[in-house]
Amino acid sequence: MTAVEEKPARARLVSGPGMLLVWLYGVMVVGAVSRSVYQIATEFDRAPLAYSLSAVAGVVYGFITYSLVRGGETARRLALVCCAAELAGVLAVGTWTLVDPSAFPDATVWSKYGMGYVFIPVLLPLTAMYWLRKARKQRPGTV
Amino acid sequence: MLDVLTLVTGVAALLLAAWCGWAAYRDQPTKDWHFIGMAVVSMLALVQLVIGIVALARGERPGQGTTIFVAYLLGAFACVPAAGLMSLAERTRWGSATVAAGGVVLAVLEVRLYDIWGG
């Protein structure tokens, strides 16, 4: 028992709604990474900007997923920052694709605020940030 | 053949999503019956994977490329089992919600598969 107490357990982020979030983020990781890997490998010259942005989106999703699964205060904060960056990315790229479509011969994951992904890219960071802020208040260490 | 299977799998995935969504709404975790439902949907996706590969082996070609087609077939097959495992780890309504989301994702994948095969 003492061995367990010496090493304080990381605050679990993957419980309750967190599980659903991890699932959705996992789906987005697979979607964004596999899509960008395929497109960069086969037709990068057609829309280099769009495919690079998809790859960046995939990396950000991957990091958030890992942080959620790992848990703990540091991971929670980093995930929060990444979610904010993700939201900023979705909004910026989404606006960019609407204002200047000619820069994007092909779609990115974040085109038109993620319309091709049922707007999950714009809804997910909002939900995740809400969940991560709530998780701080429920930390077991404060009980 | 493949189109019919795509339709059936997509509809089954939506039914699974509705069923597990109902369980989540009623604040229930996934139960044995739900896992049987997941097994049925996963079997459909597996049959689809096999038939898709057989079609490729017989020289038929999907409209939008073989690599994308195989990737989506694999994704469709892995989708529901992965969500099911997560619902085993999360024995609350949120496990059911995860499987429901998995069903919706699979239905979307089936729509994409239909497009990819048809071109």
Which tens digits make up the pLDDT trace of B24-82? 999 999 999 999 999 999 999 999 999 999 999 999 999 988 999 999 999 999 999 99
Token pair of A127, please? 């939900």
The boundaries of the domain holding residue B63 are: 2-118
The pLDDT assigned to B12 comes to 97
Q: Which chain A residues contact residue B82 at CB under 8 A?
A: 23, 26
The band of A143, judged by pLDDT with boundaries at 50, 70 and 90, is very low
Structure token digits, residue B8? 């059936």
Counted domains in chain B = 1
Question: Would you call A34 an interface residue with chain B, using a CB distance cutoff of 8 Å?
Answer: yes
Of B67, B75, B94, the CB nearest to A19: B94
CB-CB under 8 Å, B95 with A19: yes
pLDDT above 90: percentage of residues in chain A: 58
Dihedral sign for Cα B6, B8, B11, B16, please. Answer: negative
One-letter identity of residue B27: D
Alpha-carbon gap, residue A67 to B46, rounded angstroms: 32
The percentage of residues in chain B with a pLDDT greater than 70, rounded to a whole number, is: 99
| pLDDT, position A139 | 56
- Mean per-residue pLDDT for A2-7? 45
Taking a C-beta distance cutoff of 8 angstroms, is the pair A112, A93 a contact? Answer: no
Mean pLDDT, residues B9-32: 96
Tell me the C-alpha distance between A102 and A34, whole Å.
24
User: What pLDDT does A126 receive?
Assistant: 94
The DSSP string of B21-54 is HHHHHTT----HHHHHHHHHHHHHHHHHHHHHHH
A8 or B87: whose pLDDT is higher?
Answer: B87
Token pair listed for A62: 């991957």
pLDDT of residue A8: 55
Q: Is A137 exposed, middle or buried (0-12, 13-18, 19+ CB in 10 A)?
A: exposed
Q: Do A23 and B71 touch (CB under 8 A)?
A: no
On the question of pLDDT at A130 being above 50, the answer is: yes
Shortest CA gap A92–chain B (Å): 26
The enclosing domain of B34 has a CATH number of: 1.20.120
Q: Is the pLDDT of residue A99 over 90?
A: yes
Task: Identify the pLDDT of residue B9.
Answer: 97
For residue A140, what pLDDT is reported?
56
At residue B119, the pLDDT reads 64
B75 touches chain A (CB under 8 A): yes
CA distances from A126 to A6, A14, A20, A90, B16 (A): 35, 17, 14, 11, 27
CB contact under 8 A, A23 and B86: yes
Indicate whether B19 pLDDT > 60. Answer: yes
pLDDT, averaged across chain A: 86
